[in-house]
Amino acid sequence: MKLGELVAHIATTTPDAVALVVTAENRSITYPVLADLVEQAATALLDTGLAGGDVVGLRAPNTVAYIVGLLGAARAGLVVAPLDPALPPAEQQDRMQRLGARAVLTDTPTTALDGAPEIAVSIDGSRCTVSGAPAEGGDPSAIGLTSDDAMVMFTSGTTGKPKMVPWTHEALAAAMHNVVSAYGLRADDATVAVMPMFHGHGLVAGLLATLSSGGTLGLPAKARFSAHTFFDELAATGATWLTAVPTIYQVLLDVAPAGAPAAARLRFLRSCSAPLPPAVAQRVKEAFGAPVLPAYGMTEATHQACAVAATADTETRLETVGAPVGAELRIAETGEVWLRGPAVARGYLNDPAATAATFGDGWLRTGDLGSVNDAGVLTLRGRIKNIINRGGEKISPERVEDVLLAHPDVVQAAVFPVPDDKYGEQVATVVVLRTGAVFDSASLQAFCASKLAKFEVPEHISPITELPVTAKGSVDRNRLGQLFG
């Protein structure tokens, strides 16, 4: 089934089911209404002069217009490239030019990008209107797009130009199935879209997996995550599960007790897109009264590749990212995790060198270090590119962070390398402390020394009020190196 047919299919099988809850308005949208909005959008987009195979950008927060724009464009046979609304206009323009996009769909028109004019998508109740016109057509095949492609996602790396990953209709169908089957999602399940839908985590696990299961998705009052409104949104949606990055769970730990009644229906909390320290997972479980289930995925694998099952024991939940779901996994001689399966992308668009370095013989070389036990369960050991080389000693930042987060005063921690004349690199870290805690670098170093090898103990520890993060919620280590290096 193609992406544009998803909602119409569910509308015929469960016509009374609620697809979306607009929490700010306490308004529900059923699957038939959503399907009709998608059909209106598809017709209107083709009427602007767009044609099947054309590339369009999509820039909007977590709103009804984003969902209708995405599925309407897919229904019209367009290839959609989501954009982070917070990206500088120059970066948005560069991405659209690289793709040869004919337009950018948006619910908040601003300034049209050169070569990619804006087309406004507006939703008023059960009516969708589209206004604007596209630029002259380009040639999508020139950058390697095919008729099988539904979307293009940009990698979220913090260095170099983001790479373009094509997602086919087949890969998206497999990705949705992988999430639904891993957690047994049903039509009576509901969640809140706390992750941005311009990123694979929020798009595949939050939006598409929910819709493919016939479940309900709550849209946040501010169209993005806010700890202040989160528990009201849980209650309004009747949420039974949640998917988020560790940084969101760490933020929620400060407010969870006040919102505990609204979380009572949650049967599990999924964590993905960044490593979840065991100490944080345990605190989240205690605060929410539901198991925390880590998952592992990446853009090149159309999001999820491994997941911890709800039936897993405590050690598996705290120490691993689970077994492969819909994918085959192997550990290379170097310790690198390799993946292949129907959801793994074929390569990068218009970048043969990067494709050759990352993909080969159907395998995706993830750049992650890991090991697999006899049950096929994967334990991650860190990112190859994150490893700190201190005089020949290789140090995993994630390991040091796990230790720091076990300290009762530490709410968040990030470890990164800084230049050192003697050792080449030294271990540095920043920490976010709990409210009222007093920063004491020597005490934190002593705590680390009791659990780590001497060369792993951070040489420099600095307090910080908030960690810089990438668009997907991962810690931006490169930014920290610039600030504290």
Q: CA 161 to CA 155: how far, in whole Å?
A: 9
- pLDDT at position 277 is 85
Which burial class, exposed, middle or buried, applies to 25 when counting CB atoms under 10 A from its CB (0-12, 13-18, 19+)?
exposed
The confidence score (pLDDT) of residue 88 equals 83
CA distance 139 to 141: 5
- For residue 466, what is the domain's CATH number? 3.30.300.30
Answer whether 387's CB lies under 8 Å from 399's CB: no
The pLDDT assigned to 51 comes to 96
Note whether 347 and 392 are same-domain residues.
no
On whether both 378 and 467 belong to a single domain, the answer is no
Do residues 378 and 398 both lie within one domain? no
Catalogue the E-assigned strands of 71-110.
Answer: 79-83, 103-106
| Amino acid 472: pLDDT | 67
303 and 336 in a single domain? The answer is yes
Residues 187 and 291 in one domain: yes
Residues of the chain with pLDDT under 70: 111-113, 156-160, 257-260, 471-472, 485
Last residue of a domain, one of 336, 366, 385: 385
Query: How confident is the model at residue 474, as a pLDDT?
Result: 76
**Count: domains in the chain:** 2
Q: Where are the beta strands (DSSP E) in 317-423?
A: 323-324, 328-331, 336-340, 359-360, 363-372, 378-383, 388-390, 393-395, 410-420
List of long-range contacts for 180-183, beta carbons under 8 Å, 24+ apart: 180/209, 180/212, 180/213, 181/325, 181/326, 182/295, 182/304, 182/307, 182/309, 182/322, 182/325, 183/241, 183/268, 183/270, 183/293, 183/307, 183/310
**Domain boundary at 343, 367, 385, which?**
385
Q: Could you tell me if 480 and 370 lie in one domain?
A: no
Element (H, E) at 427: strand 424-433
Domain boundary residue among 362, 385, 408? 385
Residues 405 and 340 in one domain: no
Residue 172 belongs to a domain with what CATH number? 3.40.50.12780
402 and 365 part of one domain: no
Give the pLDDT of residue 112: 65
Quote the pLDDT of residue 6: 96
Task: Verify that 425 and 321 share a domain, yes or no.
Answer: no
Host domain of residue 187:
1-385
**In this structure, are 364 and 391 located in the same domain?**
no
* 379, 394: one domain: no
Model pLDDT, residue 356: 97
- pLDDT at position 111: 67
Alpha helices in 83-214 (DSSP H): 89-99, 169-183, 200, 209-212
The widest CA-to-CA distance across the chain, in whole angstroms, is 68
Look at residue 269 in the predicted model and tell me its pLDDT: 97
Closest of 32, 17, 27, 310 to residue 187, by C-alpha: 17
